[in-house]
Amino acid sequence: MTEVEGMEVARRYTSLVVCAGAGGMAQGLERAGFDPVLLLDNRNEACDTLRLNRPGWHILQTDLRDFDPIEQGTPDVDLLAAGLPRLRGSAAAARALDPENDFELVKATVWLTHAVRPRAILLDNVPDLAAADVYAELRSFVQAELEHLGYRLGWYVINAGDYGVAQDRKHGILVALQRPFFDRFAIPPITVPRRTVGEVLRASMRMGGWNRADEWAALANRPAPTLVGGSWDRGGADLGPTGTKRSWEQMGVDGGTIADAVPGIDFAWNPIGDRSERVRLTVSQAAILQGFPEEWHVAGRKTAMYRQIANAMPPPLAQALVS
């Protein structure tokens, strides 16, 4: 804490956020006291989303692999945060792993650390990055490079559902701090019970006048499976692979598409009927499940909006990790 005119004021810190996406990580860090001096992403839609919500942020549209921090003045920051595109799960990676290409963005983040020398590093990806044997070589590379620069680090698998996010959503997290400070870091304690889909979406399901929202919410009495954004290169928006869709079906939800609007007053819901008789989630409801605030707006068409949201680090998780 610092003192201003006799009052204690929480100190603000600085961050550099790469692969910032829809701003889930940056927003959570902002809540915890980390103001970004620069955010970068290579997608038009993501940069438009960031500018729409935070016009005062410095946002650069570029690929991390092409980013030259020297040209940007090599900002002096407390935290380098990276919400990197998801690596493949261990089963898929074991079948067709191409280390030279698949590891590029993780390695680019490490090389960026050489130039920026932040006081701390936060990297988010799939849980297998932190634990699976197929990524052991990559973890060893990261550890050797960061320890050479004077950092200590840890790999963690953390479930966002333990921090107020209404999903069973595991993340692979790297935390590194300059050597004297690492012992101060601890995984944040779990302080809230798991939230359910029905609990967090009941109010939005009522917004179109649908009178069975409470009945639906009682059926949706568990956390959501992990929202999956899918590939940017093909297909439309849906809630995930086949097993995930089955989990949604048990909650009376059609996981095969994203709706334009919540159910209307005349919607005839039948949780054991065909797909047309199940509710469908909207992009706004996906954002609620990710812990985005209601006032956060996402740019682009529906599929691009959904992928930005589903691929994001939930803001409550980012906030918990650095608070």
CA 232 from chain centre, in angstroms, equals 16
Check the CA dihedral 52-170-227-62 and report its sign: positive
Comma-separated ranges of CATH 3.40.50.150 domains in the chain: 2-192+314-322
What sign results for the dihedral spanned by CA atoms 238, 222, 293, 15? Answer: negative
pLDDT digits (tens, 9 = 90+) for 22-75: 999 999 999 999 999 999 999 999 999 999 999 999 999 999 999 999 888 777
DSSP string computed for 89-133: PHHHHHHH--HHHHTHHHHHHHHHHHHH--SEEEEEE-HHHHH-G
CATH number of 2-192+314-322: 3.30.420.40, 3.40.50.150, 3.30.560.10, 1.10.10.10? 3.40.50.150
Question: Is the model's pLDDT at 8 over the cut of 70?
Answer: no
Matching residue, tokens 């639906």: 216
Question: What integer pLDDT is reported at residue 107 of this predicted model?
Answer: 95
Q: At 310, which amino acid appears?
A: A
End-to-end, the C-alpha distance of the chain in Å comes to 13
What per-residue confidence (pLDDT) applies to 3?
A: 47
pLDDT in tens, 179-229: 999 999 999 999 788 999 999 999 999 999 999 999 999 999 999 999 998
Q: Is 78 helix (H, G, I), strand (E, B) or coil?
A: coil
